[in-house]
Amino acid sequence: MQDAIDFELLNIYLKQSRVAGYCKFLLALFLAASFYQVTDITNIAVWVVIVFTINFYTIYTSFQFSDDMPVYQISFFKKRQHFLHILSGLAWGSAFFILVDANAVQSGDYRVAVVLAIIIAISSSSKAASFRGLVGFVMAISCFAGWYFVSNFALYAWWLFGLLGLVSVSFLFGWMTNKYILDQVEHRILNGEYVDELRALHDKVEKTNEDFVKRNLELQDIQKQLERLAAHDVLTGLYNRRYILERIEEKLPEIRRHQLDCCFVVMDVDYFKDVNDNYGHLAGDDVLKAVSQILMNGVRQGDIVARYGGEEFLIFLPMTELESAHVLVERLRSALEEHEHYIQNEKVIVTASFGIAQHEVNDSADRTIGRADKALYEAKVAGRNRIALSPHAE
């Protein structure tokens, strides 16, 4: 487990150090620019090259870290990064002696001090994943800064004390952050995120997961197909008798509670038996499909259309009184009558008869459907291709 913790801490340390490294490029350019007119350009160029070279190489080597790196290489990699950060700290601290003019007291040392203070502050968080790396970097910066302040102690006494305070606070904050990161890493690992085990089992888990997802999708498809088959008529694609009756029973309590209007429509294709007898059952199936499509295109969103049995269809119209239902059904009847059916290259006119009943609040669905069916019978007796309305229930 300790190997896994070290691995994760090093990974965090490298990522955060890279971000800080990008900032160092900008800070180095800023510091060099601020000394452009007061320091020899050669000194500035030398210092920038040193800082940039070490910083670039540190960032470059951090990208060489990989998840499949052997454990024995991790220790070497970590020590190399610590060494590079120490060199980086020395390069930054050398600004006091390379950039600042020793013959001009306080000519620009405050700018170096401010930038280095910013660097130290950034390091306390960016390098906290490795407390040893933080200490090495900050001490490397501080040794040059401290040397500079001690060499002019009378002038920089308070600066020296400020440096010691900043380093102390940086170490304290870095130590606290390091403990927090360590606790988080240990917590993740103790909860099952064992890096070594994940690596060893990665291929097996991935294949198992792919098989599981594939199996799950197949089961979902099968379930959807079964649900569709259970709710839909295979031939027409409309809802079947069982589904529409279940949906009606679900909606009736709300209809009763809010005293809402609704209507039931029973429809029967006229002379459908003649179509089957004269042209065959396949032609009859095509007629039922075409009729179903016309019905689906003619109803509103929220209306329910179902094949009730044979050539008979049931339509449930919620939020609809008898007069509005009559208008809607008349559009359906006209659409069916006007549609041109061709069977064996012969034009055939297909019509339908409709019975409409408005549901009474205290009535049952079966009784309302029965009244609509009775009205349908009256429409057939009256000559078919027409609509009959059922009177209110007694």
Query: Hey, which residues are catalytic here?
Result: 311
Pairing of β 352-358 and β 346-348: unpaired
Residues 277 and 280: their CA atoms lie apart, in Å, by: 6
Residues 246 and 380: their CA atoms lie apart, in Å, by: 28
Residues 56 and 25: their CA atoms lie apart, in Å, by: 9
**Which of 124, 94, 96, 97 lies closest to 110 in space, CA to CA?**
96
Can you read off the two tokens belonging to residue 252? 């009736």
Q: Quick check: 27 and 95 in contact, CB under 8 A?
A: no
SS3 100: coil
175-205 per-residue burial string, b: 16 or more CB within 10 A, e: under 16: eebbeebbeebbeebeeeebbeeeeeeeeee
SS3 39: coil
Residues 360 and 148: their CA atoms lie apart, in Å, by: 99
Exposed, middle or buried: residue 224 (CB in 10 Å: 0-12, 13-18, 19+)? exposed
Separation in Å, CA 43 to CA 25, 86, 94, 140, 262: 17, 21, 11, 20, 92
SS3 387: strand
Can you read off the two tokens belonging to residue 23? 């900032």
DSSP letters spanning 306-368:
EEEETTEEEEEEET--HHHHHHHHHHHHHHHHH--EEETTEEE---EEEEEEEPPTTS-HHHH
Can you read off the two tokens belonging to residue 349? 């006119």
